[in-house]
Amino acid sequence: MATTTSSFLNRPEVRTWGPPIALFLIGILLVVLGTIPSWGKVQDLQSDIVAEQDRIVALNEKSRQLLDFSDQSIEIDKQFTVFDQAISSESQVPELLTQVQKISVACGVKVTTLQFGGEKEKTSGKLQEVRLQYASESSFSRLTCFLAAIEKASRLIEMESLRYSLSVNEDTGAQIVTAQSTLLSYYTPTPQLSPDNPLTFSLSDERFLKNIELLKEFKVY
Amino acid sequence: MVERKEIELIPKEIEAAKSKDTLVRRVRLFGFLFFLVSLTIFGGIFAFRLSLATRLAGLEEDSAREVASIAQFAEVESKVLGLENKSAALTKILAQRDYFSSVLAAVAASQPANLKVTGVTIQKDSVLITINGETASYVTLASFLQNLVDDGKGGKLFTSVLLSSVNQNNAKGTAEFVIEATTKKDGLKR
């Protein structure tokens, strides 16, 4: 076998044409297996570098914004407390029962049913819903007071449905308004922090300032 | 007449050998040059790729430093995002809110003295409101229906009313009625 290979390599045409053809083939292999894939990698790296540079600029900007917010932390804490009264954080959802109870008591409405539960519930997104089944007994004027108080309460509570009926107590002759309602309130889950999410919030945002003024009109229970 | 003849100074074999030799040299040169150029391009791109990879690694280190710097403000960021979410939600909720108290106010404003409203059913995002009641007089019921769409009374809210049923309760001597009142579009919103 070795003799056959040796005799093949010693053949004059192989000695004449072999080296240039071998160099040419090696050159082709270098281009096909080395240069072309490397060029693809180079392009990927270039786009990665551009993306990384942009990311650094964005991160730098976010870091600067957070530093500014950090300097205003007292104001942020204050406003957060105010907004948290309107749309609570997840941990404060159970307080809703107490607040509805307080509003009812303030208007002299007797609560007969108050429990969490409802038909549909949003379980995704930045805002989540929580429902209360509510039933009460009172007079018409007290029910009106309760509705107005709910609409002016600092904790945002909506009425999804209301049905009331008037009945007369046969013994006393007094009129009793029995109301049944589904109350809807909201809470925000703890935000998921990601360094790549830009901050678009500003304490001087016009809508935010308008909301601060709106919340001043609401009553805290 | 002189006859011209070609004079061959080099034999054909020698000339063929020379031209083959030239061809061989050219092919060798081409092969070598092709290899050299391929090697140079490959080497150049490889070196460029290495330098880009080093640069990217440096940038990634810078990013990591920025991320670490942002992580220090996690508490502030959480409050800022919370505030942003709550403020955006507040605007949305208040814009979509139905104020049921305006229904009770409109019904109360339209209610004649000797007519009793025994029940009201309101549903969020629905323009239809059901009003149950009783009265001893059909004239009073007609007045109530008229008041509900009177601009000075219930007409601020209701656009039309439909008396869907009236039943005579002989035991009480009253007429029990059901009215379906239609509110203006977004009439319950402010």
Same domain, A57 and A104: no
For A95-154, what is each residue's pLDDT tens digit? 999 999 999 999 999 999 999 986 555 555 788 999 999 999 999 999 999 999 999 999
User: Check: CATH 3.60.20.10 for B101-183?
Assistant: no
Interface-testing mutation among B27, B65, B70, with chain A (most A C-beta atoms within 10 A): B70
The whole-number pLDDT of residue B148 equals 96
The whole-number pLDDT of residue A15 equals 84
Which residue has 């769409």 as its token pair? Answer: B149
CB atoms closer than 10 angstroms to residue A6: 9
Average pLDDT, chain A: 91
**Looking at chain B, which residue has its C-alpha nearest residue A89?**
B82
From the list A70, A213, A183, the residue with the least C-alpha distance to A117 is: A183
What SS3 state is found at B159? strand
Q: Is residue A30 part of a domain?
A: yes
CB contact under 8 A, A42 and B39: no
Same domain, A179 and A99: yes
From the list A194, A165, A200, the residue with the least C-alpha distance to B131 is: A165
Tell whether the torsion through CA atoms of A161, A152, B105 and B161 is positive or negative.
negative
Q: What is the pLDDT averaged over residues A2-10?
A: 74
The whole-number pLDDT of residue A9 equals 80
Same domain, A127 and A169: yes
- Cβ–Cβ under 8 Å, residues A56 and B62: yes
- Two tokens at B123? 């549903």
User: Which of A41, A71, A101 is at the close of a domain?
Assistant: A71
Of B30, B35, B80, the CB nearest to A76: B80
Same domain, A90 and A185: yes
Same domain, A60 and A153: no
CB contact under 8 A, A162 and B100: yes
CB contact under 8 A, A70 and B105: no
Percent of chain A with pLDDT over 90: 77
Of B67, B87, B120, the CB nearest to A164: B120
Which CATH number do you get for residue A211? 3.30.70.60
The continuous run of DSSP H or E covering A116 comes out as strand A110-116
Which residue has 């029962």 as its token pair? Answer: A97
Q: Is residue A174 part of a domain?
A: yes
- Cβ–Cβ under 8 Å, residues A163 and B119: yes
Same domain, A107 and A207: yes
pLDDT at A42 over 80: yes
Q: Is residue A79 part of a domain?
A: no
The whole-number pLDDT of residue A61 equals 95
Chain B environment of A67 (Cβ under 8 Å): 73
The whole-number pLDDT of residue A221 equals 87
Chain B environment of A195 (Cβ under 8 Å): 66-67, 70-71
pLDDT at A213 over 90: yes
- Two tokens at B186? 């977004």
CB contact under 8 A, A45 and B56: yes
CB contact under 8 A, B122 and A159: yes
- Where are the strands (E) in chain B, listed by range? 115-123, 128-135, 158-169, 174-183
Q: Is residue A81 part of a domain?
A: no
Taking phi over 0 as left and psi of -120 to 50 as alpha, with beta for the rest, B3 belongs to: beta
The whole-number pLDDT of residue B5 equals 60
Which residue has 């693809």 as its token pair? Answer: A40
- Two tokens at B143? 């007045």
For B107-163, what is each residue's pLDDT tens digit? 999 999 999 999 999 999 999 999 999 999 999 999 999 999 999 999 999 999 999
The whole-number pLDDT of residue A64 equals 95
Interface-testing mutation among B30, B41, B87, with chain A (most A C-beta atoms within 10 A): B87
Q: Tens digit of pLDDT per residue, chain B (190 long)?
A: 555 566 666 678 888 888 888 988 898 899 999 999 999 999 999 999 999 999 999 999 999 999 999 999 999 999 999 999 999 999 999 999 999 999 999 999 999 999 999 999 999 999 999 999 999 999 999 999 999 999 999 999 999 999 999 999 998 899 999 999 999 988 898 8
Q: What is the DSSP letter of A129?
A: E
Give, in order, the Cα–Cα distances in Å from A172 to each of A104, A135, B61. Answer: 23, 22, 81
Q: Is residue A34 part of a domain?
A: yes
Cα torsion A86, A109, B131, A152 to 10°: value is -20
The continuous run of DSSP H or E covering A130 comes out as strand A128-138
From the list A114, A117, A118, A115, the residue with the least C-alpha distance to A105 is: A114
Same domain, A136 and A93: yes
DSSP labels, A152-217: HBSS-EEEEEEEEEEEE-TTT--EEEEEEEEEEEEEEPPPPP-TTSPP---TT-HHHHHHHHHHHT
- Establish how many alpha carbons lie within 13 A of residue B41's alpha carbon, considering only the half-sphere containing its beta carbon: 18
For A46-81, what is each residue's pLDDT tens digit? 999 999 999 999 999 999 999 999 999 999 999 999
Q: Is residue A76 part of a domain?
A: no
The whole-number pLDDT of residue B44 equals 95
Same domain, A67 and A98: no
Q: Is residue A198 part of a domain?
A: no
- Cβ–Cβ under 8 Å, residues B135 and B144: yes
DSSP labels, B65-119: HHHHHHHTTHHHHHHHHHHHHHHHHHHHHHHH---THHHHHHHHHH--TTEEEEE
Same domain, A121 and A207: yes
Same domain, A59 and A90: no
- Cβ–Cβ under 8 Å, residues A144 and B101: yes
CB atoms closer than 10 angstroms to residue B8: 8
Same domain, A156 and A61: no
The whole-number pLDDT of residue B186 equals 87
CB contact under 8 A, A160 and B124: yes
ipTM value > 0.90: no
CB contact under 8 A, A20 and B27: yes
Total domain count, chain A: 2
Domain that holds residue A119: 86-191+203-216
Residue B77 CB partners (closer than 8 Å, separation 6+) = A66, A69, A193, A199, B70
The whole-number pLDDT of residue A118 equals 66
Q: What is the pLDDT averaged over residues A87-101?
A: 93
